[in-house]
Structure formats: C-alpha cells, structure tokens
Amino acid sequence: MLQEIIKKVVSFLIALAALIVLSPLFLIIAIAIKIDSRGPIFFIKERVGKNGKPFKFLKFRSMSTQAVYTINDVAQQDPHITRVGKFLREWTLDELPQLINVVKGDMSFVGPRPMPSYEGEDKNMKALWQKRISVVPGLVSLVDIKGRNLVSWEKRFEYDAWYADHQSFWLDMKILILGFFAVLSRRGVYGKEDSKNSL
C-alpha cells in the first residue's frame, strides 16, 4: 500500500512538471492538428482503470473524424490517418495528453495500457483481464518493450498479468528506460505491416 501511494505521488509530480515543460509542444501539436484536418484536437474514449473503474482516456487525434475507432491495431496505410497523425503515431506523441490522466490519478507512468472492458468468453483471458486491472494502467507497459502491436492479444494480457504480480520500483525503472528506446525504434507502432520498416 505504501509503495502504491509513493508511486502515485511521484507520478503526479513528474507528470505535472512534464505538462508545464511540454506546454509549448502541446500548443504546436494542437495547431498542427487543426490546420491538417477538421475535427477536435483530442481523441477521448472511455477506458477501464484499476478495479474496473472507467475513466476518460486522452490522446491527440491522429485520424479523420470519419474513422471508426476500435481497439484493434491500425494498419500503417489506413487512409483515415492524417498527415500529422502519422507523424504523431510514429513517435508516440499522440500519447502525450495522457500526462493529464496521470495528474488526475487515472493512470501512472508504468502499468498495463488502458483498454475498453473485455467482453470475450475465453476463461483464461478473463482471468488475465482481472489480474491486469488489479493495478493502475500506465503510459508505458511491459508490452511496449516486447514489441507493442506486434504482440498478440493473449500475450499482451499475459505480460500485463505478470507485471501485476511482480511490480516494483526497479521493474518500473527498467520498463521506463527500455520503453524510451522502444519509442525511438518505432518498432511495432502499427503492427505486422510496419515490422519490415522498423529501424
């Protein structure tokens, strides 16, 4: 419990500082999105947090308003991805607004990536789902350093459940550091279609 409180306080302070420092970048991205295509600056969807509590999940909008958003991976050549959106996705800049989710306490820096509620019937997946929502979702997850969208959904759940059972300060530090290099590599941003184009 103490570790969880410390993690929440530290995440809040770092995210708040990051929002202040990155505010000029937020403004530049917001202007670029508005110039590039019609629609809102932010993409807002309901996601499931710790213990199944829903929250409003924030991203910079990277697709046209005609796109139908699903949890499924988006192909690299999807025509609904805007020009600015493609750049934001490749460098994971579309995820920056989730710093607001961290400040609000909905998310942490490290944890399973937020998802909609799991509605499948597979008993193993259901058990893994319950395990993964026993912790606060995060900006960076173990899945991100294992290949992001190149990882199957079952494996993603398994990695998240493993993290829930083994979370610690040092594990979080390792995931954050390796996650930074995963972002730079751009590997797995879109899934199988971009594997041949990854650095």
**Cα(12)–Cα(34) distance, integer angstroms:** 29
Per-residue model confidence (pLDDT) at position 70: 54
The answer to whether the beta carbons of residues 172 and 163 sit under 8 Å apart is no
The answer to whether the beta carbons of residues 113 and 148 sit under 8 Å apart is no
Residue 81 pairs in a beta bridge with 63
Asked if pLDDT for residue 193 goes beyond 50, the answer is: no
Q: What's the rounded mean pLDDT across residues 26-38?
A: 95
Q: How far is CA 69 from CA 31, 72, 102, in A?
A: 23, 8, 23
Tens digits of residue pLDDT in 84-99? 999 999 899 999 999 9
Q: Name the pLDDT band for 192 (thresholds 50, 70, 90).
A: low
Percent of the chain with pLDDT over 90: 70
Orientation of helix 23-36 relative to helix 2-21, angle to 10°: 60
Asked if pLDDT for residue 190 goes beyond 80, the answer is: no
What's the pTM value of the predicted model, to 2 decimals? 0.86
Residue 115: in which H helix or E strand, if any?
none
Chain mean pLDDT for the chain: 88
Tens digits of residue pLDDT in 120-141? 889 999 999 999 999 999 999 9
pLDDT: which is higher, 6 or 74:
6
